[in-house]
Amino acid sequence: MDSQAEQNLRLLEHIEQNPDITQADLAARLDVAVGSVNWYLKRMINKGHIKVRQMQRRRLRYLITPQGIAEKARLTASFMQYSMQLYRMTREAAKEYVQEVRRAGYERVRIQGEDDLAEVCYLTCLEQGMRVIEDPQVAVPVLRVEGMEVHLEWPEGEQVNR
């Protein structure tokens, strides 16, 4: 799922929760500039996903149209599909790395990362019978979660036939 589709989905979710939300509040919640929110809203209005009603002099109400509801459902399904694909890929990479680590004679690994993908790696290691340690002083292979990828790093000075 590309970042624009993700922003559109988040925008629709926020408008659904609070139709009277301001562009400034949307910008803060989406972590973008107000001008970007204005651009996203104009595009969605032109596509027929959102209608705007003037409430008071400077207050607007954003209404999600039936086409907008359909678009939100499509984006949600796309996001779920992307998330499941990322989960499967992360799990498969972790399994392969655990096998490689075990073939090299190790029984323990360390996981570097703090997000959901690191948690997937942690659970996969436990499922595969690989102990996960936290002590950075112990020389063990590291499953490093960086962005949306998992990498295997060997202890410094180790010569491992891969």
Query: Domain residues of the chain, as ranges?
Result: 3-64, 87-153
Q: Give 55's pLDDT tier (boundaries 50, 70, 90).
A: confident
Give the pairing of strands 142-146 and 108-112. Answer: parallel
Query: 3-state SS of 54-115?
Result: EEECCEEEEEECHHHHHHHHHHHHHHHHHHHHHHHHHHHHHHHHHHHHHHCCCCEEEEECCC
> Which of 1-5, 12-16, 133-137, 152-156 shows the highest mean pLDDT?
12-16
Which pLDDT score is estimated for 2?
84
Fold annotation for 87-153: THUMP fold (3.30.2300)
Q: Mention the CATH class of domain 3-64.
A: mainly alpha
CA distances from 32 to 35, 38, 90, 138 (A): 8, 10, 29, 42
Which pLDDT score is estimated for 158?
61
**Alpha-carbon span 103 to 119, nearest angstrom:** 23
pLDDT > 90 fraction of the chain, expressed in percent and rounded: 86
| Contact status, residue 115 vs residue 145, Cβ threshold 8 Å | yes
**Alpha-carbon span 7 to 103, nearest angstrom:** 43
The answer on pLDDT for 159 being more than 80 is: no
| Contact status, residue 83 vs residue 50, Cβ threshold 8 Å | no
- Residue 19 φ then ψ, to 5°: -60, -20
The answer on pLDDT for 162 being more than 60 is: no
* Burial (CB count <10 Å: 0-12, 13-18, 19+), residue 40: buried
> What's the average model confidence in pLDDT over 10-34?
96
> What's the average model confidence in pLDDT over 124-129?
96
Q: Give 161's pLDDT tier (boundaries 50, 70, 90).
A: very low
Q: Which of 152, 154, 140 is nearest to 95 (CA)?
A: 152
> What's the average model confidence in pLDDT over 133-148?
93
pTM (predicted TM-score) = 0.76
The answer on pLDDT for 156 being more than 90 is: no
